[in-house]
Structure 1
Amino acid sequence: MGELLGSIAFSLIVIAVIAGAWAWISSLFRKGAMALLGFDGVCVQQFETVLLYRNGRFEKALPPGRHRIRAGSRQLARIDLRPEVFRFTQGAVSADRFAVNLVYVVRSQIVDPRASFESTQNYRDEICIRLQSIVKAVCSRKPRLEIQMDHQTFSNSVQKAANQVLRSIGCECLTFELLQADPGGPIVELDNRRMGFAAGLMKEV
Structure 2
Amino acid sequence: YYLMNGAIFGGSDETKSYIQSAQFGIINTILIIILVPFLASVVYPFCTRRGWNFSPQRRMAAGFFFVVLSFAISAGLAPMIEDAFKSSGRDIDQADKYDGTYCKECYSAWLQFPQWFVLSLGEALFSPTGVQFTYIEAGRQFRAVSTSFWLLSSSLGSILIMILEPVFADAGMSSGTKGWAYSGIGLFGFFLYCLTSYYYVPRKLRPSISEAARLAKEAEFSLIKY
Q: Which has the higher strand share?
A: 1
The structure number with the bigger radius of gyration is 1
Q: Which has the higher helix share?
A: 2
The verdict on a shared fold, with TM-score over 0.5 as the criterion, is: no
Higher relative contact order (CA 8 A, sep 6+): 2
